[in-house]
């Protein structure tokens, strides 16, 4: 048997931090690391397998035979390690683990591998690459572009189906660094959010069932290719958000489940360690080494790939012990309630570690319940996220819009209710991939009416969204009115842009993004009630809402009027609190967007007519199914 040399990247302090769950840079120690020892090139391997009685590195270098056995550390850490000469970048390998648990033998991919084989192949790949970053300007000034008082308009992207080649092959990371970057910049989005790019075995999971937590998926190229894409986005002043999944993982044989023949990463109690909806395993958040694994993974993407934010998936499933469980399928915590105290503690530690170690980054919670203080600092009792998805707003708004306009006067509370809780969290308004799959239809075809009204309703929806307090997210295809539901196996329906109504929606979103970036009243105070003021929310009969958005300077204030019916409303009177020159700066019914162009409010005249409790007022022509913005 070839000798595996004794070598270690771990100091005693590293081991202490690991055991206590406080080692947040484990990717620098565990995994496979090409190095040179005494002039001999090879790879240092290290893996955590405390229930093993033998661990072998098997791969293409030894015909997948049990020839190279790692050495277990003496300190009780459960780490096996060793140096294998003659291996290096490109070597395929797995860990073959003989367990103390009933003689079980597992063959596992490396949890810390930097690269993986292209699925359905499952081996890990020894990797060491170099990328010279060119995003210094972005990174240096990121705090002024990625903060909570900055415009945040996100284009959510599934890399495998945004656009494909003529033979339906994927675009590579480097091809996307041309096509996608040019498109996102032209559309004036401030950020892109990538659905999970960490390696995953099963395409229909969309990436939400991970097996390679430290490896960008090989479907589109190498790790350096993905860094090239991030770099290009930053050089064009576009932030990068990564979907991150610490809530569950699949039971695939090469994955984390029963890793060393024991419940190493997953909770051993099936009531807490198995997710009934997704048929997947749930991390054991109370185990120190598992917490260190997950927090190290989060920091890895911020550190090594310059990610600007992590959108944390399925937070609600982590917070509650009874999530998607029936009576008898869960057990309460020590206080007798349904909160997962270990997961809550982990989330707080995660957010503290991220914000302590990186300037100008954000964490964003996809959390669908009324759990309090999700986006409030840990120091005052919050979970510590920077933002939270506003799922209630999304649901209520889409429910409202599906109503025929003639009935909307009975449902105006669906729209106005959001303002009773908008400022309890730092909310992001999402129209995500989840809203255009599984029979829900595209956003366009969730709108009522004939063809013109469908498009007018969609323009109205986007106009209302971009003027409502909170940051914004649109899933790819929504920006040009994709007709069909999203299909992860094919490209978006780009051919629709030959039609005026679809290209009009695209122009509208492009201009709304520009409006959002150019007008501080829409973002400076987007998370505080100082940035919003109702003018009138009670005109149910006409289905009209009027409100103000406010910035730091009064001169930046905007008046927004939304007409949720297809009736043209001439000389609609609105009370105002200030005098001065007014002008219309945006109209979703403009002909260039596919609208009717039926109104003209170029310079509304301020009159001394009391209205809405103000001494002055203006009379506007409000377009059908339209939004007008006055400055």
| Residues annotated as part of the active site | 313, 366
Neighbouring-strand partners of residue 193: 156, 241
| Residues written for the chain | 631
Q: Do 134 and 465 contact (CB within 8 A), yes or no? A: no
Sort strands 309-312 and 362-365 into parallel, antiparallel or unpaired. Answer: parallel
- 83's CB contacts (< 8 A; 6+ apart) are 4, 5, 6, 7, 35, 37, 42, 43, 44, 45
> Where is 193: in which H helix or E strand?
strand 191-194
Distance CA 83, CA 274 (A): 36
Token readout for 527 is 């998370």
Distance CA 30, CA 227 (A): 21
Which one, of 42, 70, 45, 74, lies nearest residue 56 by Cα?
70
The alpha-helical segments, DSSP class H, found in 115-211 are 136-140, 173-186
Q: What is the DSSP letter of 614?
A: B
Distance CA 137, CA 133 (A): 11
Distance CA 517, CA 300 (A): 30
Q: Give burial (CB, 10 Å; 0-12/13-18/19+) of 266.
A: buried
Q: Give burial (CB, 10 Å; 0-12/13-18/19+) of 372.
A: exposed
Q: Do 414 and 396 contact (CB within 8 A), yes or no? A: yes
Distance CA 138, CA 152 (A): 15
C-alpha 120 chain-centroid distance: 25
């Amino acid at each position: 048997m070839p000798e595996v040399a004794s070598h270690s990247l771990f100091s005693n302090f590293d081991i202490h931090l690991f055991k206590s769950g406080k080692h947040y840079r484990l990717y620098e120690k565990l995994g496979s690391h090409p190095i040179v020892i005494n002039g001999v090139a090879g790879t240092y391997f290290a893996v955590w397998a405390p229930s093993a009685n033998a661990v072998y590195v098997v791969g293409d270098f030894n015909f997948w035979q049990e020839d190279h056995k790692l050495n277990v550390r003496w300190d009780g850490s459960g780490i096996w390690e060793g140096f294998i000469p003659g291996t290096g970048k490109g070597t395929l390998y797995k860990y073959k683990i003989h367990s103390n648990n009933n003689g079980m033998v597992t063959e596992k991919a490396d949890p810390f591998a930097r690269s993986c084989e292209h699925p359905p192949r499952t081996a890990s790949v020894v990797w060491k690459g170099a990328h010279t970053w060119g995003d210094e300007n972005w990174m240096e000034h990121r705090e002024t572009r990625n903060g909570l008082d900055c415009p945040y308009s996100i284009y959510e992207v599934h890399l495998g189906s945004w656009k494909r080649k003529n033979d339906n092959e994927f675009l590579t990371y480097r091809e996307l660094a041309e096509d996608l970057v040019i498109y996102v910049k032209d559309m004036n989005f401030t950020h892109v959010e990538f659905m999970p790019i960490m390696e995953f075995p099963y395409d229909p999971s969309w990436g939400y069932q991970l097996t390679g937590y430290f490896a960008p998926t090989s479907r589109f190229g190498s790790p350096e290719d993905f860094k090239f894409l991030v770099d290009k986005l930053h050089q064009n002043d576009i932030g990068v958000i990564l979907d991150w999944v610490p809530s569950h993982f699949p039971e695939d044989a090469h994955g984390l489940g029963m890793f060393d023949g024991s419940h190493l990463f997953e909770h051993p109690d099936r009531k807490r360690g198995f997710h009934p909806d997704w048929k997947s395993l749930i991390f054991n958040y109370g185990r120190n080494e598992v917490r260190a694994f997950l927090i190290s993974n989060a920091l890895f993407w911020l550190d090594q790939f310059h990610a600007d934010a992590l959108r944390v998936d399925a937070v609600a499933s982590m917070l509650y012990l009874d999530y998607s469980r029936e009576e008898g399928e869960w057990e309460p915590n020590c206080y007798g309630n349904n909160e997962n105290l270990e997961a809550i503690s982990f989330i707080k530690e995660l957010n503290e570690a991220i914000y302590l170690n990186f300037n100008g980054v954000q964490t964003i919670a996809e959390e669908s319940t009324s759990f309090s203080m999700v986006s409030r600092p840990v120091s005052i009792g919050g979970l510590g996220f920077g933002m939270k998805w506003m799922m209630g707003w999304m649901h209520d708004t889409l429910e409202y819009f599906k109503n025929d306009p003639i009935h909307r006067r009975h449902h105006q509370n669906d729209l106005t209710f959001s303002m009773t809780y908008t400022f309890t969290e730092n909310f992001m308004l999402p129209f995500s991939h989840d809203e255009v799959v599984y029979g829900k239809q595209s956003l366009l075809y969730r709108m009522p009416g004939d063809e013109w009204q469908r498009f007018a309703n969609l323009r109205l929806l986007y106009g209302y969204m971009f003027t409502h307090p909170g940051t914004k997210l649109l899933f790819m295809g929504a920006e040009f009115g994709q007709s069909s539901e999203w299909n992860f196996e094919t490209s978006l329906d780009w051919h629709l842009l030959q039609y005026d109504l679809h290209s009009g929606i695209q122009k509208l979103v492009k201009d709304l993004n520009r409006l959002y970036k150019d007008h501080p009243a829409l973002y400076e105070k987007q998370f505080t009630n100082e940035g919003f003021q109702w003018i009138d929310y009670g005109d149910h009969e006409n289905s009209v809402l009027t409100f103000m958005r406010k910035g730091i300077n009064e001169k930046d204030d905007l008046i927004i009027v939304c007409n949720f019916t297809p009736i043209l409303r001439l000389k609609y009177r609105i009370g105002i609190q200030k005098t001065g020159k007014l002008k219309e700066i945006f109209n979703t019914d403009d002909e260039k967007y596919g609208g009717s162009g039926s109104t003209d409010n170029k310079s509304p005249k301020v009159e001394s007519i009391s209205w809405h409790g103000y001494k002055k007022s203006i009379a506007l022509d409000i377009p059908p199914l339209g939004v007008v913005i006055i400055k």
